[in-house]
Amino acid sequence: MESGNRRILIVDPHCDAAQELSSLFITEGYDVEISKGVREAAERLNDVKFDCIIMDVELPEMEGFKAVPILKAIDPKVQIIMTTAENTIELEVEVRKQDIFYYYIKSFDQKELIEAVRDVLKKLGKVKKVKKMDKPAKILIVDDDPLFVKAVEMTLTPKGYEVQSVGNKTEALKKIYEMEPDLILLDIMMERLTDGFDICYKLKHDPELKNIPVFAISAITQRTGFKFSPKTDGEYFPADDYLEKPVKLDKLLERVEKLLKG
């Protein structure tokens, strides 16, 4: 493992909660893996060196705090943060008897958990200096589905992005030149079935705009049965990434982060 890597293992049988935490820490720049229980976590810990384990108290094989000595026996240096959805005095007493770094209640602000993980990295001497952008990344959503636009805005805006949206081809081309976005989330089917293809093709053949990443997101295959991919149809569909609707917002966020990082 490279010394610069910052690895987190999330041990949580609750898929939605685990995926939410994974997306949160991927956004923060960490390498993240998920295990559903103690056995799987122990196997990964034997193969990979993690800096931090975020482990829920409710696991299939045993209570999470009872798994702390097992994982510490494999890697005594790994730092463990215990989490729980519901806390009691009795539970907290048992958890704090263990060699843990922090105890986090899931109903609390996630910033608290982020800070705890940062403290782990400080302890290990792995503080990563992040170059802050002078301005937030600008993202333009081009989509005529107001519910989808709202859901994406609610996902991206809390992450600090400047998000704007338009609902048709004419508005999109005008806004792109005005806004000069850092990323475009592009629907394909709007007023016409091929509007998204037309916008993408025009952008990628414009010397001033061709370097703007285009993330196409569409239900065209579901609606028409035709399958499209930038990998196979790049000549007329030169998008930088593509997802079929319906999309999982955490997956969308991961792909947005990747495109913005280049």
Two tokens at 60? Answer: 């299939």
Q: DSSP readout, 204-223?
A: HT-TTTTTS-EEEEE-HHHH
**pLDDT tens, residue by residue, 178-196:** 999 999 999 988 988 889 8
CATH 3.40.190.180 for the 138-261 domain, yes or no:
no
**pLDDT tens, residue by residue, 45-97:** 999 999 999 999 999 999 999 999 999 999 999 999 999 999 999 999 999 99
**CATH number belonging to domain 7-123:** 3.40.50.2300
pLDDT at 230: 57
pLDDT at 132: 45
Per domain, the residue ranges of the chain are: 7-123, 138-261
> Do 7-123 and 138-261 agree at the fold level?
yes
Residues near 171 by beta carbon (within 8 Å), at least 6 away in sequence:
none
CA–CA distance, 239 with 59 (Å, rounded to integer): 42
How does strand 79-84 pair with strand 102-105?
A: parallel
Q: What is the pTM of this model?
A: 0.50
